[in-house]
Every structure is written in C-alpha cells, then in structure tokens.
C-alpha cells in the first residue's frame, strides 16, 4: 500500500515537473541560439534546418511560420531599453538607425501575435514609407492617440510586442553584437 502511494506520488511529481517545464519553454521560449541587441531578440536559427527542439515546439504550438534565413530575420521586443514592458497607453519612441537590409518592416502585435485594430488601418511601417530626418535617422511614435510624424497606433491595449523584420540582409546566424547590427532604440517617454 505504501509502495503504491509512493510510486503514485513519484509519477505525479514527474508529470507536473515534465509537462510544466515543457509548457513554460513552449510559451515563453528559451535562450537557446538567441541574438539580443538592446531590447530586441532574434532567433536566426529558426529559419534554418538546424532549428533547436525548443523553438520547433514553440513554432508548432503557436502555428506560426518562421522567416527563412534566405529571406530575412525577425527581431521581437516586448520591453523598452530599460526592461519596462511595452504599454499601449504610454508614448513609446522607436528611433535611430537600422542594420543593412534591402527592406525592413516594423509591426505591432498583441501578445497572441494578432494585429491590433485601429481607425487608420495602420499596423506597421515599411522602410520606404517612413519619414526620416536629414541624417537618415527616423523616429516612430507608438502611442494610443494620434501623434505628429510617424505615428503607430496601439489601440490602447495594455501589452504589445514590436516585431522588426529585415529582408535580404547580411544579419543572421553569424551576427553577434550591436556593431554588426545597429538596432533602433526603444524608449518610453511618457505615461498618462
């Protein structure tokens, strides 16, 4: 009787620990093969055949298709440069320069990866439609209410993610540091 109880307890612990760890890694991701530059994180290896098992689990669970290495690379930011989570009610400024690429796009998603509805039907910017300063640098204001210049509406949602995709770019598996890939800064400049 006691042996049975103990075996059951061990199996219960195994199930909780095992499936719990799998759930955690599949929903939050792991640090395997990540490239972090400022607030931005990319996993260039997810676009190749030697993608790690954790990324594969996350990809199939979310039902997404990773961007292939011959196509480009995708960077995600969930926080600003000071690790403050991106809040749709605040004014966030994305500014600076971008790594070499033929095109880039910046897109705003909710936490499930869906686009956020807004009256302008603006879900992001491409490198061609952005208004730049004389030195080639740009500034995008991510805010709930209309702003001058490059305004990206948040729809006032509490948490969102920014995705910065580079197409036809040398940035990829071999990239290590900010010097290879100067990513734009993200700063929260004011909250109501």
Partner 1 sequence: MIRLLFTIIAGVLLGGVVHLVSVLALPRIATQDAYSRLTPLTKLNAVTRLPPSDPSNTVMPFLDPAFAVAVCRYDLSGGPIKLTVPVSQAYTSVSFYTRNEVAYYAINDRSAGKKVIELDLMTEAQHNDLPEDEEITAADRLIIDSPTATGLIVLKALAPEPGLMPQAQASLAASSCAEQADQPAKQAEAPRGKR
DSSP character string of 157-169: -SB-EEEEEEES-
Strands 40-42 and 35-37: antiparallel
Stretch that binds partner 1, among 16-24, 36-44, 92-100, 176-184 (CB under 8 A): 16-24
Sites for partner 1 among residues 113-172 (CB under 8 A)? 113-117, 121, 123-124, 126-129, 163, 165, 167-168
Question: Measured at the alpha carbon of residue 109, what is the angle toward residues 103 and 113, in degrees to the nearest 5?
Answer: 105
Q: Please identify which residue in the block is written with the tokens 């075996």.
A: 7
Q: How far is the CB of 136 from partner 1 (least distance, A)?
A: 17
In this structure, the number of other CB atoms found within 10 A of the CB of residue 50 comes to 8
Q: How many residues bind partner 1 (CB under 8 A)?
A: 63
For residue 151, CA distances in Å to 57, 142, 143 come to 35, 6, 7
- Binds partner 1 (CB under 8 A): choice among 22, 36, 146, 178: 22
- Binds partner 1 (CB under 8 A): choice among 29, 59, 81, 185: 59
Alpha helices, H only, 37-79: 53-62
Stretch that binds partner 1, among 89-97, 112-120, 136-144, 146-154 (CB under 8 A): 112-120
Residues that bind partner 1 (CB under 8 A): 6, 9-22, 25-26, 46-49, 51, 53-54, 56-57, 59-72, 74, 102-103, 105, 107, 109, 112-117, 121, 123-124, 126-129, 163, 165, 167-168
């Amino acid at each position: 009787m006691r042996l049975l109880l103990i075996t059951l307890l061990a199996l219960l612990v195994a199930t909780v620990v095992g499936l719990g760890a799998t759930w955690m890694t599949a929903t939050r991701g792991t640090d395997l093969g990540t490239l972090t530059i400022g607030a931005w994180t990319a996993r260039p290896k997810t676009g190749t055949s030697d993608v790690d098992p954790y990324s594969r689990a996350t990809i199939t669970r979310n039902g997404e298709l990773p961007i292939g290495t011959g196509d480009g690379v995708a960077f995600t930011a969930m926080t600003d440069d000071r690790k403050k989570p991106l809040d749709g009610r605040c004014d966030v400024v994305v500014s600076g320069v971008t790594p070499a690429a033929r095109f880039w796009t910046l897109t705003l998603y909710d936490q499930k990866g869906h686009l956020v509805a807004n009256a302008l039907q603006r879900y992001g910017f491409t490198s061609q439609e952005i208004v730049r300063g004389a030195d080639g640098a740009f500034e995008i204001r991510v805010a709930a209410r209309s702003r001058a210049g490059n305004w990206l509406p948040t729809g006032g949602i509490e948490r969102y993610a920014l995705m910065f995709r580079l197409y036809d770019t040398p940035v990829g598996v071999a990239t290590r540091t900010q010097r290879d890939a100067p990513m734009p800064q993200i700063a929260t400049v004011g909250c109501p």
